[in-house]
Amino acid sequence: MSIFSIGLSGLSAAQSALSTTSNNLSNVYTEGYNRQLTILGESYSNGSTGTGVSVDEVQRQFNSYVTEQYNDANSQKSALESYQSQVSQIDDLLADSDAGLAPLVQDFFSSLDDLTGAASDPAARQGVLGSASSMAAQFRSFDSYLGDMRSSLNGQLESTVTDINNTATQIAKLNDQITQARAKSGEEPNSLLDKRDKLVSDLNELVGADLNIQDGDTYNINLENGQPLVSGTQSYDLEAVESNEDPSRTVIAYRDAAGNVNQIDDSAFENGELGGLLSFRSETLDSVQNQLGRMTVVLGSEFNAVHENGVDLNGDAGEAFFEIGSPRVMSNSQNDGDGAISAEYSDVNQLTSSDYRITYTGGEYQAERLSDGDTTTLTPDGSGDVDLDGMTLNISGTAQEGDTFMLQPTRTASQGFEVAITEGAEIAAASSGGGSGNNENALDLLDLQSEKMVGGTSSISDAYASLVNEVGNTTNITQVNLDAQSGLTEQLREYQQSESGVNLDEEYANLVRYQQYYQANARVIDVGSQVLDSVLQLR
């Protein structure tokens, strides 16, 4: 091997190293780029004589273990961010001292207090109607706000699912491109590998995903429940669809290889933006709207009951003061039978803020309280009626094995909460038999302010304060967890970048070093040329 060939191999190696270093420098701010390193090896002739240098590979500085830890931490962080952004909106709504319900409830009972002192005063009666209307409007406004949040969340779920599917499709395509590139060149397609790993990181921000590497090459990705999202060059789509149990609820479904669409329980998703949104809905949004509805039902029903015991200014028996909603029961769209269930309130003090899933199995109906999993066997009387937690259900028709029904006792109760009477004279402030001008029934109505009628343990004001504290605590805890998770994620990010990230100072030093290396090998060739000239001059 001539000195020229050895020098040329050095020039080629130096050029490759300079090219790699230049590429690192130009991609220092490229998201997902992993630093590359030119690996050099000595060339041999006949196994012993050195023949220069060879470029063995351009190695990507990538630590799969650290990256996997970072992706998992980032996925949990993304879930907490989604949850926090949603729950903080409800916290701001409920805790607002000016726009909250507490002042309006207080104003309502204060107007009743004024009425007890002047039962026949038209102004006092009009004051009760006005404050009652304002309070009812605020209940409806809060419910409307929560309903808008639910609709917005449905839209976010659809958008997130679209992003998940697009990302999974790109990963599956890159699996194919990487395999083909390796087969053609025998070298690692580093840019494609970087792009694929970046997409995996992006996917983890959207949904919790488990990565499995097949044969050290192909990426297979499963959802948290084990269902495949990417398998080799094949990707499987998620779909945001209308729930079989509740048409107003968007849920996540999985389309398998046979094209079947199967709805997935929300609890199967814990991490990523998707997990955060679903957790918020099931843990906070549903609960808050149900509790608000329960307060509406209890206040309206108890107030109506007392009001109907009194006599108005015209001497007529009191009528319902408030209009309130009723429990909502929905048949699963996949039911095979023609069974039907309706519900109405009975003893509202027994109402819970939970939803119920009623299943027909083994020839009987089983009601599962979703808040705690408690199950009750429903045994209707001859008219098809059966009591359940402050409600009377009526069961009719013939259900088939496995048919289900979703019972939401208080979810929509606040939507129709309004004052039912229109004239101040219709307020039944007097007791029956005591003359239309006395205030005995008004005093009974005023006593409801402190009566523990919500679950038998709390007044309306106490129940609302408890709800505000509950949401506030959830918001604070979520923020604390988010701060801690953000710190952990940043640490892992820094650790990952210390191995894979581009260091400008280091790359600049390499640039100078490889430039000198190039110049030295050029000098080798120059020396070889001088030696050859000297040999030729000997002739």
Residue of 451, 521, 505 whose CA lies nearest to 21:
505
User: CA–CA separation, 210 vs 72, rounded Å?
Assistant: 9
**Residue 530 pLDDT greater than 80, yes or no:** no
Whole-number percent of the chain with pLDDT over 90: 81
User: CA–CA separation, 184 vs 74, rounded Å?
Assistant: 35
CA end-to-end span of the chain: 23
pLDDT (average), residues 364-391: 94
**Residue 510 pLDDT greater than 80, yes or no:** yes
Lowest mean pLDDT, pick from 18-22, 214-218, 462-466, 510-514: 214-218
CB 37 within 8 A of CB 61: yes
**Residue 436 pLDDT greater than 60, yes or no:** no
Label residue 137 by pLDDT band (50, 70, 90): very high
User: CA–CA separation, 238 vs 273, rounded Å?
Assistant: 14
pLDDT tens digit sequence for 56-95? 999 999 999 999 999 999 999 999 999 999 999 999 988 8
CB 252 within 8 A of CB 239: yes
Q: Which residues contact 514 (CB under 8 A, 6 or more apart)?
A: 14, 17, 18, 21
Among left, alpha and beta (phi > 0; psi -120 to 50; other), residue 362 is left
pLDDT at position 165, please? 97
**Residue 328 pLDDT greater than 70, yes or no:** yes
Higher pLDDT, 518 or 1: 518
Distances (CA, A) of 241 to 117, 147, 281, 487: 57, 18, 16, 36
Q: Which residues contact 354 (CB under 8 A, 6 or more apart)?
A: 290, 369, 370, 371, 372, 409
**Residue 1 pLDDT greater than 70, yes or no:** no
pLDDT (average), residues 196-225: 93
Label residue 528 by pLDDT band (50, 70, 90): confident
**Residue 539 pLDDT greater than 80, yes or no:** no
Average pLDDT, the chain: 92
Residue 105 tokens read as 């409830």
**Residue 380 pLDDT greater than 60, yes or no:** yes
**Residue 538 pLDDT greater than 70, yes or no:** no
**Residue 532 pLDDT greater than 80, yes or no:** no
- Please tell me what DSSP assigns to residue 360: E
Label residue 434 by pLDDT band (50, 70, 90): low
Give the H or E element holding residue 307.
helix 286-307
- Please tell me what DSSP assigns to residue 314: T
Max CA-CA distance within the chain?
144
Domain ranges of the chain: 3-61+504-537, 157-277, 326-411
pLDDT at position 155, please? 96
pLDDT (average), residues 119-127: 93
Label residue 19 by pLDDT band (50, 70, 90): very high
* Residues 216, 219, 222, 224, Cα dihedral to 10°: 80
pLDDT at position 435, please? 65
**Residue 534 pLDDT greater than 80, yes or no:** no
**Residue 219 pLDDT greater than 90, yes or no:** yes
Q: Which residues contact 56 (CB under 8 A, 6 or more apart)?
A: 39, 40, 41
Residues facing 407 on adjacent strands: 329, 356
* Three-class DSSP category at 43: strand
- Backbone torsions φ then ψ of 187, nearest 5 degrees: -115, 165
Q: Which residues contact 61 (CB under 8 A, 6 or more apart)?
A: 34, 35, 36, 37, 499, 500
CB 403 within 8 A of CB 336: yes
Lowest mean pLDDT, pick from 179-188, 331-340, 363-372, 480-489: 179-188
Q: Which residues contact 536 (CB under 8 A, 6 or more apart)?
A: none
DSSP line for 438-471: --HHHHHHHHTTT---BTTTB-HHHHHHHHHHHH
* Three-class DSSP category at 405: strand
- Please tell me what DSSP assigns to residue 65: H
pLDDT (average), residues 359-364: 94
Higher pLDDT, 432 or 104: 104
* Three-class DSSP category at 135: helix
Lowest mean pLDDT, pick from 229-243, 261-275, 442-456, 524-538: 524-538
pLDDT tens digit sequence for 166-203? 999 999 999 999 999 988 988 889 999 999 999 999 99
Label residue 7 by pLDDT band (50, 70, 90): confident
- Please tell me what DSSP assigns to residue 243: -
CB 75 within 8 A of CB 205: yes
Residue 420 tokens read as 């039912």
Distances (CA, A) of 92 to 98, 312, 464, 475: 11, 40, 14, 10
| Residue 205 CA, distance from chain mean position | 11
pLDDT (average), residues 381-408: 95
**Residue 437 pLDDT greater than 70, yes or no:** no
**Residue 164 pLDDT greater than 70, yes or no:** yes
pLDDT at position 255, please? 84
pLDDT at position 259, please? 80
* Residues 180, 182, 188, 191, Cα dihedral to 10°: -10
